[in-house]
Amino acid sequence: MTSLPTVEDLRLVEALLRHGSLGAAGRELRISQPAASARLAALERRIGERLFDRDTTGARPTPAGRALAAEAGHVLGHLEAIFDRTRAAARGEVLRVGTFPSLAAWLFPALVQLLRDATVHQVTDHGDRLVEWVGEGSLDAAFVTVADQLRLPATATASPVAADRLAVLAPPGVRLGGGRRPFAGLDVVAHTYDPSADALHRRLSDLGARPRPAATGETAVRMGRLLGCPVVLPRGLAVAYAASDERVSAAPVPSRFTLFLVTRRPPPPALVTAAGDLAGLLGLEPATVPRAATRVGPR
């Protein structure tokens, strides 16, 4: 028996994570519950790790099971797009590009505009995983802000594309205070390119704020409008989402983010050319290598 998982193995693990039940996962895959249970048990024996804890209430993933389900989702997504990529390749260049969720709605339309002769397949995830996928070859490129904090794969290279800083977006009627505590007594929705925003929240608390976390830039802006409070987020996102009656100003929090293009060596020429125009198109500062001092960690 091969040591590699089959597509059926991956589908079972991914479905089981979503449903939390062997019966429900089996129905989705059109196999019986006993067959699903036997397939999972065989997979666990081959791996040598328990993937799901099962009892009469359902199936709960172990850390190993959650890790395998994440990998399964990535592999299955790649497989499902194979035919589309093959057909697109017959019509011109195909590029598989990833970025993190907050930047996706802003970056991908700009890339499509700049790469009119290519088909751009869009992937979103955390920056470290995207860089890993570039290294293994399942992505052609990733636009991330962690390239200077990671050990890049030997097959990959990173180039700075644009820079950004934190800003405050103020919905109509929202007024900030002055002095050393401009957010005193205010809820402040905060989103940054930092996977652990604790440092930003502490800084906002020092300025008098009651920080409210948000998962993405768009989520942060919508929360700020609903709550009637200021939003702290990267300036590029603030400008992109701000309505005509909303003010965008510099945040009283030191920060600097650099957006990097990570590709395999040598980088695709079309992407290199497009990257040179991205800063202007997105309204960001020209790319510079970030300094170690004032920075809220990137994603």
- CATH 3.40.190.10 is held by the domain 81-164+257-286: yes
**Domain definitions of the chain by residue range:** 7-79, 81-164+257-286, 166-250
Which pair of structure tokens corresponds to residue 81? 């797009």
The domain 7-79 is classified under which CATH number: 1.10.10.10, 3.20.20.140, 1.10.3720.10, 3.60.15.10? 1.10.10.10
Name the fold adopted by 166-250.
D-Maltodextrin-Binding Protein; domain 2 (3.40.190)
pTM: 0.68
Cβ atoms of residues 174 and 209 within 8 Å: no
Q: Do domains 81-164+257-286 and 166-250 have the same CATH topology?
A: yes
Rounded Cα distance between 254 and 294, Å, is: 5
Determine the Cα angle at 266 with ends 260 and 272, to 5°. 45
Task: Encode the chain (299 residues) as per-residue pLDDT tens digits.
Answer: 467 889 999 999 999 999 999 999 999 999 999 999 999 999 999 999 999 999 888 899 999 999 999 889 888 887 877 776 676 566 667 888 999 988 998 899 999 999 988 888 899 998 999 999 999 888 999 999 888 888 899 999 999 999 999 999 999 999 888 888 999 989 999 998 765 678 889 999 999 999 999 988 999 999 999 999 999 999 999 998 999 999 999 999 888 889 999 999 888 888 888 998 999 888 888 886 544 333 333 34
Cβ atoms of residues 25 and 19 within 8 Å: yes
247 Ramachandran zone, left/alpha/beta (phi>0; psi -120 to 50): beta
The number of C-alpha atoms within 13 Å of 162 and in the hemisphere containing its C-beta is 22
